[in-house]
Structure formats: structure tokens, C-alpha cells
Amino acid sequence: MKRSLLVGVTVSILSACASPMAPNSPEDAELAIIPTKTNYAVGETLSAQLFNRSATQLGYVECAALEKYQGDKWVHVSPASGACIILILYRLDANSSRTLEIRLNSTIPSGLYRLRIQISREDGRPLRDVYSPTFQIRDAA
């Protein structure tokens, strides 16, 4: 009993420490990517809602990166090459949302993950990374 409680507390602390920082400016809150579940199994399709909370249209690269928390840092897992083959900038209207789906193939190890997506604004500022809240991927049962 004590051991499982300790493991649960340790996982909770790790998840809290590993989570991306909360937005600290209005600019950081413009776009959010939120997985629809907190736990996925290998082979499932990960679904996430992309929200544009700003008053202007934003662009985003639909090829979301999957990152795994290992040790004390985030490690790029998918796409395998580290970059998309075709980079297409999609537009997301002001105050709207879109669903993204990513198939979790059998080579993805279980663990704590997050999504990273790049966004662009109409004013020509450089692409910026946006991170999802963390979620778990487990081996298929």
C-alpha cells in the first residue's frame, strides 16, 4: 500500500514538474493544442483540438511533433526524421478550432508525452512553438 502510494505521488510530482509552463503573456495564450484524452495506447489515434483564441487569423504547420519526457528533458520522437517532408502552412481563423489526429505506431515507447506545433502570425514574426499539456502513452493491452 505504501509503495503504490509513493509511486502515485512520484508520478504526480513528475507530471507537474514536466508540464509546460502556463502562459505568461497574452501572446502565449493565442493558440492552444489540447489532447482529447490524458491516456492513449500504442496503435490508437491521438486526437487533439487546436484552438485559436486570438482576434486574428493564425497559421500553423499541421505536422505536430511528438515529444517524450526522458530524464530531465523533452526528446523528439515523431515524425522520425525530426521534420515533416512537406511543410504546409494551414490557416486557422480567429476564435475557431480544428481537430488534429496522429496515429500512434507500434514503435512508440510508453511514457509521458506532449505535442509541439509551430504557429505563424500575419504580421510576419517568425514561427513559434506551442506545446500541449502532457499525456501518457502506454503499451497496447
What are the extents of the domains in the chain?
Answer: 2-138
How far is CA 24 from each of CA 15, 20, 21, 59, 91, rounded to the nearest angstrom? Answer: 20, 11, 8, 21, 24
Out of 11-15, 75-79, 118-122, pick the least confident.
Answer: 11-15
Contact status, residue 137 vs residue 104, Cβ threshold 8 Å: yes
Closest CA relative to residue 46, chosen from 99, 119, 122: 99
CA distance 71 to 90: 34
Task: Please give the pLDDT value at position 56.
Answer: 86
- The mean per-residue pLDDT over the stretch 15-24 comes to 41
Give CATH for domain 2-138: 2.60.40.1930
* β-strand partners of 121: 58
Average pLDDT, the chain: 77
Q: Which pTM value belongs to this model?
A: 0.74
For 84, residues 6+ apart whose C-beta sits below 8 A from its C-beta are 61, 63
Per-residue pLDDT reduced to its tens digit, 21-72:
444 444 557 889 999 999 999 989 999 999 999 888 888 877 788 999 999 9
Task: Please give the pLDDT value at position 2.
Answer: 42
CA distance 98 to 92: 8
Out of 18-27, 81-90, 94-103, pick the least confident.
Answer: 18-27
